[in-house]
Amino acid sequence: MSEHTTSDRIIEEYLGDLRDALRTVNPSSAKEFVAEIEQHISEGRTSLEPGDEVGLRNLLERIGSPTALANELKETEPARTVSAMDRATPWLILFGGIAFGFGWLVGLYGLWSSKTWRIWDKLLGTLIWPGGLVGTFYLFLASAGSTACSGFKGPGQTSPTMTCINRGITVLPRALQFLAGFVIVAAPIFTSVRLGSVLSRGYADASNPHGIRVVRSGRSRTSTRVVWIIEGLMVLFFFIFVMTLS
């Protein structure tokens, strides 16, 4: 049983590395290619004894290293070109709101109609924040804070009892107010930078006609996780902040 698990783990690791090396390839081609290799492995395993780890490693070695396979697939893929709309989208998402929101809507169309970005990037581009920097401006206005007071004068009282309720950013401690302001401004910029960075992957030019990019190392995978954690924290913080406004 443990032997079987070891073999499965080896295959999972191999396919994981392959998927990672194929990040810059057209997603549908990458998916199809991984399925072919997966099938090849399962065909090859039929001639191996269960738990034959050496045989499995030899099989994977014959198939080739994930990096070599990814490079081969990139060689046979047609050059990926980046459309003008794709280039403009991160900018429109950030600054498009200035033109009465029209530019942002065009950017939104570019974002959702493009195959360059995956669903999570599209959601980030849409939600952080609607209207881009203009959305940020309105968010600032909303978060500037307000204090509503009401008074009640009971029998025998010379002056009314005042009750005041703070709304907005002022309900937060000063350090958190600063952090909230930073997150609100930085988040849309960060999101647009991310959209631009996804766009630049596999970008094809004269020196790189097939859009081949250096295969991502473990370190850059870690940096991607860090980016996602930061984005997640920003969204979490935003929702907590919205809760305090209401």
Partner 1 sequence: MLAQMRRGAIEYCVLALLQSEDRYGFEITRQLSEADGLVTSEGTVYPLLTRLRNDGLVDTYWQESTEGPPRRYYRITTNGKRALKSFIDQWARFRDSVDDILSRGK
State which residue, 18 or 184, has the beta carbon closest to partner 1.
18
Q: Which of 3, 8, 13, 36 is in the footprint of partner 1 by CB under 8 A?
A: 36
Nearest-10 crossing angle of helices 218-245, 174-200? 140
Cβ(232)–Cβ(244) below 8 Å = no
Of residues 61-80, those binding partner 1 (CB under 8 A): 62-65, 68-69, 72-73, 75-77
> Among 32, 53, 118, 223, which residue interacts with partner 1 (rule: CB under 8 A)?
32
Cβ closest to partner 1, residue 36 vs residue 113? 36
Among the listed ranges 43-51, 102-110, 127-135, 214-222, the one in contact with partner 1 (CB under 8 A) is 43-51
8 or 32: whose CB is closer to partner 1? 32
- b/e burial code for range 71-107 (CB count within 10 A of at least 16 → b): eebbeebeebebeebbeebbbbbbbbbeeebebbbbb
Q: Which is nearer to partner 1, 78 or 151 (CB)?
A: 78
In sequence order, what DSSP letters do the residues of 181-236 get, joined into one string? Answer: HHHHHHHHHHHHHHHHHHHHTT--BTTBTT---PPPPHHHHHHHHHHHHHHHHHHH
Beta carbons within 10 angstroms of residue 56's beta carbon: 21
Task: Report in angstroms how near the CB of residue 32 gets to partner 1 at its nearest.
Answer: 7
Examine residue 42 and tell whether it contacts partner 1 (CB under 8 A): yes
The least CB distance from residue 9 to partner 1, in Å, is 20
Only one residue has tokens 């980016």, namely 227
Instruction: Kindly tell me which of 25 and 169 has the beta carbon lying closer to partner 1.
Output: 25
Query: Could you say which of 43, 83, 120, 229 contacts partner 1 (CB under 8 A)?
Result: 43
Strands (E), the chain: 146-152, 161-167
Query: Which is nearer to partner 1, 62 or 115 (by Cβ)?
Result: 62
**Binding test (CB under 8 A) with partner 1, winner from 7, 11, 21, 33:** 33
Give 140: exposed, middle or buried? Use CB within 10 Å, 0-12, 13-18, 19+: middle
Q: Which residues bind partner 1 (CB under 8 A)?
A: 29, 32-33, 36-37, 39-40, 42-44, 46, 62-65, 68-69, 72-73, 75-77
